[in-house]
Amino acid sequence: MLILGVDPGSSITACGFIDPTTKKTDFDFIKFKQKTSQEEKIFGVFEFLDNAIKNFKPNEVVVESPFYSVNIKSAMVLSEIKAAVIIAAKQNNLKVFQYTPRQIKQAICGYGAADKNQVRFVLEKTLNINLKDEPLDVSDALAVALTHIYTKGL
């Protein structure tokens, strides 16, 4: 079994793969230039994830469900990016699961208000990998996948 975790973002979208049995991991990300249009970002994320799904053949897709209570524009932009993730997964006949940032931090660190560096530290120790040269989005994507593994008891 292979779980694909996705951290959707408007400048970087990352995906992390974890095999729950072996704890083998892989990851990738797409980074957009600041002037890239929203339409190009949405399509870019869709193509990026569609290719990742076709190449790695995960069994399930898990996406972080961003929560923004103040900035509605940011919420809409991230919702559009998340929709591209969901469409790529569904087009490939995969189930999609969603977890909030608080659920992810609680599952990984045991504390729902942990910061991104704490999440990265715990992931590095748990999965025996080094993520220091990678964007925090990569550790977030792996954390989403690991949260699903813990939650479903895989």
pLDDT surpasses 80 at 151: yes
Rounded (10°) angle between helices 136-152 and 101-109: 80
Binding-site residues from annotation for Mg(2+): 7, 64, 137
Tell me, yes or no, if 134 is annotated catalytic. no
d(CA 59, CA 109): 25
Q: How many CB atoms lie within 10 A of CB 56?
A: 13
Tell me, yes or no, if 7 is annotated catalytic. yes
**Who has greater pLDDT, 73 or 116?**
116
What's 27's DSSP letter? E
Catalytic residue, candidates 28, 39, 134, 137: 137
- Report pLDDT digits (tens) over 32-68: 999 999 999 999 999 999 999 999 999 999 999 876 6
Three-point CA angle 104, 148, 82, nearest 5°: 70
Catalytic residue, candidates 7, 19, 115, 124: 7
CB distance 137 to 13 below 8 Å: yes
- Report pLDDT digits (tens) over 80-93: 999 999 999 999 99
Q: Which CATH number fits domain 3-152: 3.40.50.300, 3.40.50.720, 3.20.20.70, 3.30.420.10?
A: 3.30.420.10
Mean pLDDT of the chain: 94
SS3 category, 21: coil
- Domains of the chain by residue range: 3-152
User: Of 134, 108, 98, 110, nearest to 6 (Cα)?
Assistant: 98
CB distance 49 to 88 below 8 Å: yes
Binding-site residues from annotation: 7, 64, 137
The pLDDT of residue 75: 82
Enter the tokens of residue 45.
């994320």
Tell me, yes or no, if 137 is annotated catalytic. yes
Catalytic residue, candidates 64, 80, 115, 134: 64
